[in-house]
Amino acid sequence: MQRYKVTIAYDGTKFAGFQRQPDQRTVESVLTTAVNKMAKTLDGTIKVYGSGRTDAGVHAMGQVVHFDLPFNIPAEGVRRGLNSMFPLDLVAIEVETVDAEFHSRFTNVGKQYRYKISRKDFIDPFKRFYTYNFKFNLDLALIKAAMPDLIGMHDFSSFVASGNQSKDFVREIFDVQLEEHPELDEIHFIFRGKGFLYNQVRIMTAVLLEIGSGRRPVHDILRLYEVKDRLQAPLTAPAHGLYLEKVFYE
């Protein structure tokens, strides 16, 4: 038996999210079918484990999954085998053999998400599924002043969607960055943290955009930590601007 760590990218547009659901095309179900087909285990006994879920429409440039094969073949052969089975909106970028102690979800030490915002005054037809078009004025200095408020250990109760299943709302954010890409008319937010609550990145993004457009005081994030009330931060930036970019392991 050999365990494989696989780094995948997917265009989330036509997936009903990562997690397997009855009668839905999800990343997990497409992966599971492909791996079992490649291994010729037609009963679908090989399970695929992801580092975590992504929602419908959310993309990934570096999601990590793992599975065990009953035989040992070279990593590059697994990568080619998977890619020959995958639809074109899913690709295996890298495959590595790993020890049985490796677990995509339980041994990761952090994740990096990227949120892409298009700054054109019209929705670019080529980016309509891949960026959130925000055409209103933004003062980036306000956003830069607010971003450090997100870094560190905080109670993110005001930043969690109602479907969240955990009871502990304290999460640690390592770093938040703003990237300007004038040649693309885009700005990107990059969030790195130990782990994130359901919709947390999209809610943080919406709050930063409200701050940048002057509709929320620059240090309102500190108040939101105190009030622990999602109704005070009711907006969620749309799924199609969000990318799971990296999953970190020791």
Binding-site residues for substrate = 113
Q: Provide the token pair at 191.
A: 């969030």
The yes or no reply on residue 10 touching a second copy (CB under 8 A) is: yes
Q: Indicate whether 71 belongs to the interface with a second copy (CB under 8 A).
A: no
User: Binding a second copy by CB under 8 A: which of 128, 135, 215, 223?
Assistant: 128
As a dihedral over the C-alpha atoms of residue 21, residue 24, residue 29, residue 33, rounded to 10 degrees, the angle is: 140
Between 200-212 and 220-227, two packed helices, what is the crossing angle to 10 degrees? 140
Q: Which residues contact 68 (CB under 8 A, 6 or more apart)?
A: 1, 2, 3, 4, 46, 100
Least distance from C-beta 126 to a second copy, angstroms? 6
Q: Which of 134, 127, 69, 119 is nearest to 95 (CA)?
A: 69
Q: Return the residue of 122, 165, 167, 182 that touches a second copy, per CB under 8 A.
A: 122
Query: What part of residues 80-99 is at the interface with a second copy (CB under 8 A)?
Result: 83, 88-93
- The SS3 assignment for 230 reads helix
Residue span binding a second copy (CB under 8 A) among the ranges 20-28, 98-106, 125-133, 226-234: 125-133
Per DSSP bridges, beta strands 49-50 and 186-193 are unpaired
- Per-residue string for binding with a second copy, 18-57, x by CB under 8 A? ----------------------------------------
Three-state DSSP class for 234?
A: coil
Question: Does residue 139 carry a catalytic annotation?
Answer: no
Q: Is 10 or 115 the residue whose CB approaches a second copy more closely?
A: 10
Residue list, annotated binding site: 113
Please select the residue that binds a second copy; options are 18, 35, 58, 59, rule is CB under 8 A: 59
The one catalytic residue among 11, 43, 55, 149: 55
Q: Are 193 and 138 in contact (CB under 8 A)?
A: no
The footprint of a second copy on this chain (CB under 8 A) covers a number of residues equal to 18
Give yes or no for residue 182 binding a second copy (CB under 8 A): no
CB 110 within 8 A of CB 71: no
* E strand residue ranges, 53-118: 59-69, 90-98, 108-118
Q: Which residues are catalytic?
A: 55
Sites of contact with a second copy (CB under 8 A): 9-11, 59, 83, 88-93, 122-126, 128, 130
